[in-house]
Amino acid sequence: MSDTTARSATHLTRRLVQLYVGLTLYGASSALLVRAGLGLEPWGVLHQGLTELTGISIGVVSIIVGAIVLLLWIPLRQRPGLGTVSNVFVVGLAMDGTLALVGDLDGFGIRIPVMVLGIVLNGVATGLYISARFGPGPRDGLMTGLNRVTGGSIRLVRTGIEVAVVVTGFLLGGSLGAGTVLYALAIGPLAQLFLRVFELPAPAAATVTPASPAGPGPLATPPSGQAILPQ
């Protein structure tokens, strides 16, 4: 195995680790917000409302909703990646797993720190899995697809989706509160910060040494190549 091939394999491995660690932490962070009981992120409100309605665990509800949203990509002509499909399953499984490990919390002295931890951890998770560049999550892809089809701005489309999701979830019994507001204010700056922290450098490409020219003159060394792996 050449040195370049080894570096490419290492780069791919790191991307995969970031993807699955990020998705697992995302599910764990959502579960912490559930246990804090002070308000959930917008899609969490919907998931919790559907859980109240159906009696299905919130992690399984998240998987079902993610799969339905992914089906909506078809008319929008969105193309899923490994990260898109993994997002559907890993986040929901991590949520139910964390909820099984973390029991109910009593008192604001513990619930408030857990809420803050959940929001910060969500920002860390977002930076990890997006930086891995394996495709957007189903809900993000819905946003960008509607943006392209309707011509509306990303801000307008995202706001419209999240308002509809929050209102529907709340009417079904989902939890709104200080955590919802704090999440809305903090997740943008946190995601931007951790996207920079976990940004992956492009893998080094092989440098080809050209053959000696027939006549006199200096050897020309081509510039460093482009990324080997598709981003």
Helix, strand or coil for residue 103? coil
Concatenated DSSP letters of 46-79: HHHHHHHHH---HHHHHHHHHHHHHHTHHHHT--
Specify the amino acid at residue 73.
W
Distance CA 99, CA 110 (A): 16
Length in residues, the chain = 231
> How confident is the model over 174-186, as pLDDT tens digits?
999 999 999 999 9
Mean pLDDT on 99-105: 95
> How confident is the model over 67-101, as pLDDT tens digits?
999 999 999 888 899 999 999 999 999 999 999 99
Q: Is the pTM of this model over 0.85?
A: no
Tell which residue, 87, 94, 89, has the closest CA to residue 32: 94
